[in-house]
Structure 1
Amino acid sequence: MSAALSHRILGTRRQLVQLSAGLSRADTCIRAGRMSTAVAMDRVITLENMNPHVKKMEYAVRGPLVIHATKLEKELLAGKSMPFTEVTKANIGDAHAMGQKPITFIRQVVSLCINPSLMDDPSFPDDVKSRAQAVLDGCKGSSLGSYSDSAGIEIIRRHVADYISQRDGFPADWENIVLCAGASEGIRGVMKLMIHHDNGIKPGVMVPIPQYPLYSATVAEFDLHQVSYYLDEGNNWGLDIEELNRSIEEAKQVCVPKALVVINPGNPTGQVLSKQNIQDIIKFAHENKLFLFADEVYQDNIYAQGSSFHSFKKVMMEMGEPYSNMELASFMSCSKGYMGECGLRGGYAEIINIDPAVRTHYLKSISAKLCPTTLGQAVMECVVNPPHEGEPSYEQFTKEKKEILSSLADRAKMVADTFNSIPGMECNIVQGAMYAFPRIELPPKAVEAAKEQGMAPDVFYAFDLLNSTGVCIIPGSGFGQRPNTYHFRTTILPQPDKLKAMLEKFRNFHTQFLEKYQ
Structure 2
Amino acid sequence: MAAPEGTAGTFQALECGGDDPHSMGWAPIPVLRQVLGPCSQVLATCVYPELLDTDTFPEAVRGRARRILREMDSGNIGGYNHEHRSRCVPERVSRFLERRDGIPSDPKNIILCSGTASILPFVLSLLVDPRSAVPTGVLVPVPGPPLAALAAGLAGAVPIPYPLEESREWAPDVAAIRRELQDARGRCTPKVLWVVNPGDPTGHVLSRHSMLALLSLAFEEPLLLLVDEVHQERSFSPDRPFVSFRRALAEAGPPLSSSVQLVSFYSLSKSAAGE
Equivalent-residue separation in structure 1 for 2:230 and 2:66 (angstroms): 27
Equivalent residue number for residue 118 of structure 1: 51
User: What does 1:63-462 align with in structure 2 at a 5 Å threshold?
Assistant: 88-91=14-17, 93-109=19-35, 110-115=40-45, 116-122=49-55, 124-149=57-82, 152=85, 154-197=87-130, 199-325=132-258, 326-340=260-274
Equivalent-residue separation in structure 2 for 1:335 and 1:173 (angstroms): 23
Asked if 2 retains the 8 angstrom alpha-carbon contact of 1:264 and 1:298, the reply is yes
Equivalent-residue separation in structure 1 for 2:220 and 2:183 (angstroms): 16
Q: Secondary structure at the match of 1:228?
A: strand
Equivalent-residue separation in structure 2 for 1:170 and 1:302 (angstroms): 21
Q: Secondary structure at the match of 1:289?
A: coil
How far 1:220 sits from its partner (Å)? 1.5
How far 1:275 sits from its partner (Å)? 0.9
Asked if 1 retains the 8 angstrom alpha-carbon contact of 2:69 and 2:77, the reply is yes
Structure 1, residues 439-498: CA drift from partner, whole Å, max 9, x if none?
A: xxxxxxxxxxxxxxxxxxxxxxxxxxxxxxxxxxxxxxxxxxxxxxxxxxxxxxxxxxxx
How far 1:270 sits from its partner (Å)? 1.0
Equivalent-residue separation in structure 2 for 1:104 and 1:145 (angstroms): 27
Q: Flag the 1:188–1:130 CA change in 2: closer, same or farther, 3 A.
A: farther
Specify which structure has the bigger relative contact order, considering alpha-carbon pairs within 8 angstroms and separated by 6 or more residues: 1
Asked if 1 retains the 8 angstrom alpha-carbon contact of 2:194 and 2:227, the reply is yes
Larger Rg: 1
Equivalent-residue separation in structure 2 for 1:87 and 1:230 (angstroms): 28
Q: Once superposed, which parts of structure 1, at least 4 consecutive aligned residues long, lie more than 4 Å away?
A: none
Asked if 1 retains the 8 angstrom alpha-carbon contact of 2:174 and 2:213, the reply is yes
Q: Flag the 1:199–1:220 CA change in 2: closer, same or farther, 3 A.
A: closer
Equivalent residue number for residue 43 of structure 1: none
Q: Secondary structure at the match of 2:269?
A: coil
Asked if 2 retains the 8 angstrom alpha-carbon contact of 1:202 and 1:225, the reply is yes
Equivalent-residue separation in structure 2 for 1:216 and 1:290 (angstroms): 17
Structure with the largest fraction of helix: 1
How far 1:158 sits from its partner (Å)? 0.5
Q: Secondary structure at the match of 1:218?
A: helix
How far 1:181 sits from its partner (Å)? 1.2
Structure 1, residues 137-175: CA drift from partner, whole Å, max 9, x if none?
A: 233343344434399352111000010011111111111
Equivalent-residue separation in structure 2 for 1:151 and 1:293 (angstroms): 27
Q: Flag the 1:191–1:135 CA change in 2: closer, same or farther, 3 A.
A: farther
Structure 1, residues 224-247: CA drift from partner, whole Å, max 9, x if none?
A: 111111012111101111111111
Q: TM-score, normalised by structure 2?
A: 0.85
Q: CA RMSD in A?
A: 2.5
How far 1:187 sits from its partner (Å)? 2.2
Equivalent-residue separation in structure 1 for 2:120 and 2:114 (angstroms): 10
Percent same amino acid at aligned positions?
Answer: 33
Asked if 2 retains the 8 angstrom alpha-carbon contact of 1:207 and 1:260, the reply is yes
Q: Flag the 1:118–1:102 CA change in 2: closer, same or farther, 3 A.
A: farther
Equivalent-residue separation in structure 2 for 1:123 and 1:114 (angstroms): 11
Aligned positions, number: 259
Q: Flag the 1:215–1:145 CA change in 2: closer, same or farther, 3 A.
A: farther
Q: Flag the 1:90–1:279 CA change in 2: closer, same or farther, 3 A.
A: same
Asked if 2 retains the 8 angstrom alpha-carbon contact of 1:219 and 1:226, the reply is yes
Asked if 1 retains the 8 angstrom alpha-carbon contact of 2:41 and 2:61, the reply is no
More displaced stretch, 90-99 vs 160-169: 90-99
Q: Secondary structure at the match of 1:258?
A: strand
Equivalent residue number for residue 25 of structure 1: none
Asked if 2 retains the 8 angstrom alpha-carbon contact of 1:151 and 1:179, the reply is no
Structure 1, residues 183-226: CA drift from partner, whole Å, max 9, x if none?
A: 22232331221221463111111100112111111112222111
